[in-house]
Structure 1
Amino acid sequence: MTTRRKFLTTAAAGAATVPLAAPAIAQSTIKWRMQTYAGSALAAHVAKPAIDKFNAIAGDRMQIDLYSADELVPTNELFRAMQRGTIDAVQSDDDSMASPTEVTVFGGYFPLTLRYSLDVPVLFNRYGLDEIWKEEYEKVGIRHVSAGAWDPCNFATREPVNSLKDLEGKRIFTFPTAGRFLAQFGVVPVTLPWEDIEVALQTGELDGVAWSGITEDYTVGWAEVTKYFVSNPISGAWIGHFFANMDRWNELPDDLKLLFEVCCEQSHYYRQHWYWGGEAYLRVHGDKLELTSIPDEEWAQVEDAAEKFWDEVASESDTKAKVVEIFKQYNADMRKAGKPYRYESA
């Protein structure tokens, strides 16, 4: 056998005539699996562009395999799968993936809290929600990477809705918290796998959806199987997030953590203009959904009920009370700031 001493002697003797090659360093590519709440047509906008950019920049150092809604696990099991490490990262709202945290109720569409999509990043980056979310998720072994806004939440229905009475008995696919709130107006919340919604609308198993704005209704095919779009928003923006298993996150080099954060922020920016422009354009130029609305004086009942709902949620824990207080302070600030932040007639 070649001893270490003999190897060094031989190498030194031959150094003058045979240059030593640089040592090969074995470096395995880091592989992550990430699942989004969105089906494939929607994921092409809300997730894929950012992950494609990440993979292109990270190269053979790291690659993320992206899966759409329910491909690996059902959406309501996303949190547990990520916590166990079955999935390394998730794009979702807290509510849909059933996070066991004090802030879960605020994920997705918290009723009538937000007017515009820009409200979300301001609340997280200037009013302290980011710190609260990070603390809550760290307790359960999850890294809260980033929060951003998606579209508003409106009803898209098979039959016209021109009053609150028209909502009574309607079987609506929506988020858990939104369903809990809307039940007082006779809405029957229904939970189904995302990919089953279009067929359920075709067969009449569902009367409508309160899951998105008009952009998604067109993008994912729901505009083909509903006829009406109700202009009154349950919320002005969906609050969604990027999350990662804490152990997987801590294993990453700092520059890859930073790259992932930057790509998440780019994703938030893309959605800001994609949704904002899409909501307006399709209301004006879309040819598949007829716009209806509930009169302002009736919708005021929903707005009043929302404030009572906030207080109900705030009474459940100190953390929830803290978040609700931030929402109230923020909305008070926006009203005092006046136009264009808030229009009294809106």
Structure 2
Amino acid sequence: MQRRSFVQRAGLAGVLATGAAPAVVHAQSNLRWRLASSFPKSLDTIFGTAELFAKKVGEMSGGRFQISVHAAGELVPAFGVVDAVQNATVDIAHTAPYYFYGKDPTFCLGCAVPFGLNSRQMSAWMYDGNGLKLMREFYAKYNIVNFPGGNTGAQMGGWFRKEIKSIADIKGLKFRCNPFAGRVLEPFGVVPQSLPGGDIYPALEKGTIDAAEWVGPYDDLKLGFNKVAPNYYYPGWWEGGPQLDFFINNKAWEALTPDYKSMIEAAAAQSHIEMQARYDARNPPALKQLVGSGTKLKPFPADVMTAAFKSAEQIYADLSAKNPSWKKVWEDYAKFRAEQNVWFRFTEATFDRFMQSQKL
């Protein structure tokens, strides 16, 4: 028995040493995926998050799993990525789910809704609450498996050609904003405009639109909005913590080996963390630069905030009455939001208010 065991061990060692066991050592086959982003290459924060994700998958797989990243318009339009993943035109996309409000408002709960969760609360709901489970059940209707893929943190309210002193001043305003914010503002006379990031500047410059929101100082400075609209409002109450997602075709996902699935999960998690880290680090100096160059920084008037909040809550009630998919996810989301706000009121908010009042 001892001699046979020794021979068996020696034989296996010899095989491994000569590299003659590819089925054992290299069980995974080479694989190439195409990723369609909803964002332009000029945005190293958002587009760069997809590049980071692809890089990490390539590194973890020893180069056997390669993902090519394509900017909006290269393979499919910015707002065409859900159809592309659903139909297996591409294997994976990186996008903001609320772009697809027109398909079903439930998409927005996987990203951001007006007066919703902040970025930390959103991650908590996704990873330790029921968020990921509920959204995956919903996305399954579109042949999609999703992974959180970044967050910008609370956004700015956008760039306006004219000053907004009250709710009356937004009547007739052609405002590029996310679809859900547009619906909330429509009762007050706003005319919502849906434009991908790369199309916003020329529309604002030509006067095709009167105002536009994107993300925050770092990206907005890169896109040059301060050159064509002087008034910069805050906060972006429609996206207090917008989460981006990696949308993967369900058949492409199921075809992966367990090791490749783990690599996707790990790379997405790292990308999710690093995207917000980039924004948190880069927004403060960018805001200082914008203000130094003449940007007028202003809060939304209280009556705008109050009216928008009431409008949003009414829309949520209406959707719950007629959209079963929305109702199922919203009830869990809203309960989580209420609990989180009680907790943050005593801790994060109090600490933040004190620190921001200090001269550091």
8 Å contact from structure 1 (residues 109, 178) kept in 2: no
1:245 to partner: Cα distance: 0.7
Aligned residue in 2 for 1:327:
333
8 Å contact from structure 1 (residues 69, 194) kept in 2: no
Aligned residue in 1 for 2:8:
none
Give the direction of change, closer, same or farther, for the CA distance of 1:303–1:21 in structure 2 (3 Å limit).
Answer: closer
Give the direction of change, closer, same or farther, for the CA distance of 1:284–1:228 in structure 2 (3 Å limit).
Answer: same
Aligned residue in 2 for 1:339:
346
2: CA distance, partners of 1:145 / 1:21:
36
**In the alignment, structure 1 residue 41 sits paired with structure 2 residue 30:** no
SS at match of 1:40: coil
In the alignment, which of 118, 122, 134 is matched to residue 132 of structure 1? 134
Structure 2 runs not aligned, ≥5 long: 1-17, 354-360
1:284 to partner: Cα distance: 4.1
2: CA distance, partners of 1:23 / 1:127:
44
1:303 to partner: Cα distance: 1.7
Written as runs of structure 1 = structure 2, the 5 A alignment for 1:268-283 is 268-283=272-287
Aligned residue in 1 for 2:147:
145
8 Å contact from structure 1 (residues 35, 69) kept in 2: yes
Identity %: 24
RMSD: 2.8
In the alignment, which of 302, 309, 315 is matched to residue 303 of structure 1? 309
Give the direction of change, closer, same or farther, for the CA distance of 1:293–1:200 in structure 2 (3 Å limit).
Answer: same
1: CA distance, partners of 2:217 / 2:47:
17
Aligned residue in 2 for 1:228:
231
Which protein has the larger Cα radius of gyration, Structure 1 or Structure 2? 1
2: CA distance, partners of 1:294 / 1:101:
29
8 Å contact from structure 1 (residues 141, 245) kept in 2: yes
| 1:134-193 deviation digits (Å, cap 9, x = unpaired) | 111223322123354224342222333333222222212222222222212222111234
In the alignment, which of 251, 254, 263 is matched to residue 255 of structure 2? 251
1:102 to partner: Cα distance: 6.7
**In the alignment, structure 1 residue 66 sits paired with structure 2 residue 69:** yes
1:336 to partner: Cα distance: 2.3
In the alignment, which of 192, 196, 214 is matched to residue 195 of structure 2? 192
2: CA distance, partners of 1:224 / 1:55:
40
In the alignment, which of 58, 82, 85 is matched to residue 82 of structure 1? 85
User: Normalising by the residue count of structure 1, what TM-score does the alignment of the two structures yield?
Assistant: 0.84
1:332 to partner: Cα distance: 2.0
1:236 to partner: Cα distance: 0.9
Structure 1 runs not aligned, ≥5 long: 1-19
Aligned residue in 1 for 2:4:
none
2: CA distance, partners of 1:189 / 1:238:
19
- Greater helix percent: which structure? 2
Please tell me the residue identity of whatever aligns with 1:35: A
2: CA distance, partners of 1:225 / 1:71:
28
SS at match of 2:42: helix
Give the direction of change, closer, same or farther, for the CA distance of 1:213–1:340 in structure 2 (3 Å limit).
Answer: farther
2: CA distance, partners of 1:147 / 1:62:
19
Please tell me the residue identity of whatever aligns with 1:327: Y
Query: What is the aligned length?
Result: 326
8 Å contact from structure 1 (residues 102, 319) kept in 2: no
8 Å contact from structure 2 (residues 94, 149) kept in 1: no
Aligned residue in 1 for 2:116:
113
**In the alignment, structure 1 residue 183 sits paired with structure 2 residue 190:** no
Aligned residue in 2 for 1:264:
268
Please tell me the residue identity of whatever aligns with 1:79: V
Written as runs of structure 1 = structure 2, the 5 A alignment for 1:209-224 is 209-224=212-227
User: Normalising by the residue count of structure 2, what TM-score does the alignment of the two structures yield?
Assistant: 0.81
1: CA distance, partners of 2:127 / 2:22:
44
1: CA distance, partners of 2:205 / 2:303:
33
8 Å contact from structure 2 (residues 39, 78) kept in 1: no
Written as runs of structure 1 = structure 2, the 5 A alignment for 1:89-100 is 89-97=92-100, 100=103
1: CA distance, partners of 2:346 / 2:280:
18
Written as runs of structure 1 = structure 2, the 5 A alignment for 1:275-294 is 275-286=279-290, 287-288=292-293, 289-294=295-300
Please tell me the residue identity of whatever aligns with 1:30: L
